[in-house]
Chains A and B, each alone.
Chain A
Amino acid sequence: MADTIDRTALQQFLLRMGDNTLILGHRVSEWCGHAPVLEEDIALANTALDLIGQTQLWLDYAAEVEGAGRSADDLAFLRDVWDFRNVLLVELPNGDFGQTLMRQFLYDAWASIMLGRLQKSADERVREIAEKAAKENAYHVERSADTVVGLGDGTEESHRRMQAALDYLYPYVGELFESDATDAAMVEAGVAPDPAGLREDYDALVGRVMADATLRLPEKAYVHRGGRSGTMHTEHLGHLLCTMQWLQRAYPGCRW
C-alpha cells in the first residue's frame, strides 16, 4: 500500500495523528497527582496512557514510512517545535480541571469520528491502529462528555467555568477540519477521509452534548491554525517540549 502512494504525505498524515495523541497525552499526564479527587486522578492517568500508547503505534508507522532510520522515540523526543504537526488545541495549557475536560471532549469527539472513518482505510496498518484506538476513545469520549455535562449543568461556578473554557477553546476547533494537499493525497489514496467532511457529524455530537450541558457554543468563532501544517505553534508547545524532552536532551540515548 505505502509503496504506491506519496510517502511524504503519508508520513505527514501519520505525524499529525501521532503528534495529536502525544501532545494531548503529555498534557493530560500533567494532572497526575494533582487532580481534584483520587478517582479522577487515576482516570486521567489512564487516558494519558491510552493516548501515549496510540502515539507509539502512529509514530512507529511514521518512522517506518519515513525510512530514515529514526524510531518513534526519536520522533517524540528529538524533534523541535517546528517539526510537530499536532493541532493547536491539544498543546494549550490545562487551565482548571473543567478546561482540561472541555479540551478533552472537543478532541475526543473529533477522534471518535475520525477513528471511525479510518477503520475503513485502504491502508491495513492505519485500519489496525484505528480499530485499537477507537475502543479506547469510545470510553474517553463517554467519560469526557459526561463530565462536561455534569460540570456545565452543575453549580453556578462550574457552569461559569465550563462556559469560559468553551469560549476559550472553541476557536481552536476549526483547525481539526482544515484540508490541504496532504489531506488530498490521503483521500486520493483512500487512506484517510477529508477532514472537512467530518464537520457535520462533529457539530451534531458537540451540539447535543453542549445542549445537555446548558452551554452556549460561540458563534462564528475565529479559527486559530498553524499546528497541523507546522507553520506556527503557540508559545505553549516549546515549554511542553522542554519538560517532555529534557531527559533525552540532557542525557542523549539514555535508557532505563
Chain B
Amino acid sequence: MSSVNPSAYPDTDSDAAPPRKEWPLWEIFIRGQHGMSHRHVGSLHAPDSEMAIKNARDVYTRRNEGVSIWAVESRHIAATVPSEKGPMFEPSESKVYRHPTFYDIPDEVGHM
C-alpha cells in the first residue's frame, strides 16, 4: 500500500475519464501583500489556465488580498492518503527533541 496518492483528485484526470461537461478544478495559491510565499486559498472551476487565473482574481483577490496568483490544476497535485495518516505522521509526535526549544538563544542574535 502506498502512502502517496499520485493524483489527489483522480476523477478529474482527463486522460482516463470520459468527456465531461464540467470545467476542471484548479487549486489557487495567492501571495499576499506582505507574505513571501504563495498560500493555498481555495479552489475553483475554469476551462483553462488563463481563465483559472482570471477567476482567481475575481473570486479571491477582490478585497486587495494579493500581489501574485498561482493556479494548478487539481489533478496534478500529489497528496498523502488520509488512511495512511498513522505511519506518515505519528512517528514524529514523540520526538520533541526535534523542536529547537532546548537551546538558549543569545539576545544579540535578535529575531530568528
A-side interface residues toward B, CB under 8 Å? 37-39, 42-43, 46, 139, 142-143, 146, 150
The listed residue (A39, A42, A139, A142) touching B46 by CB distance below 8 A is A39
Partner-binding segment picked from B9-17, B55-63, B74-82, B103-111:
B55-63
> A-B pairs with CB below 8 Å: how many?
29
Chain B residues with a Cβ under 8 A of chain A: 23, 44-47, 50-51, 54-55, 57-59, 62
Are A143 and B47 in contact, CB atoms less than 8 angstroms apart?
no
The answer for the CA separation of A62 and B102 in the assembled complex, in Å, is 69
**Cα separation A165 to B45 with both chains bound (whole Å):** 25
Q: Are B47 and A39 in contact (CB under 8 A)?
A: no
Tell which of A39, A46, A146 touches B50, judged by Cβ atoms closer than 8 Å: A146
A69 to B59, alpha carbons, bound, how many Å?
A: 39
Residue in A closest to B52 when the chains form the complex, CB atoms: A39
Q: Across the interface, which residues of B come within 8 angstroms of A146, CB to CB?
A: 50-51, 54
Residues of chain A within 8 A of B54, CB atoms compared: 43, 142-143, 146
* Complex CA distance for A37 and B21, rounded to whole angstroms: 12
Min Cβ gap B24→A in Å is 12
B62 touches A39 (CB 8 A): no
Contact across chains for A43 and B55 when beta carbons are under 8 A apart:
yes
| Contact of B59 (CB < 8 Å), options: A39, A139, A142, A150 | A39
Which of A39, A46, A142 interacts with B45 by CB under 8 Å?
Answer: A39
Residues of A within 8 A of B44 (CB): 38-39
Distance (Å) between the CB of A31 and the closest chain B CB?
13
Do the beta carbons of A42 and B58 come within 8 Å of each other?
yes
- B45 engages A150 (CB within 8 Å): no
- Give bound CA distance, A228 to B59, whole Å: 34
| 28 A-B pairs in the complex with CB atoms less than 8 angstroms apart | A37-B23, A37-B45, A38-B44, A38-B45, A38-B59, A39-B44, A39-B45, A39-B46, A39-B55, A39-B58, A39-B59, A42-B55, A42-B58, A42-B59, A42-B62, A43-B54, A43-B55, A43-B58, A43-B59, A46-B58, A46-B62, A139-B57, A142-B54, A143-B54, A146-B50, A146-B51, A150-B47, A150-B51
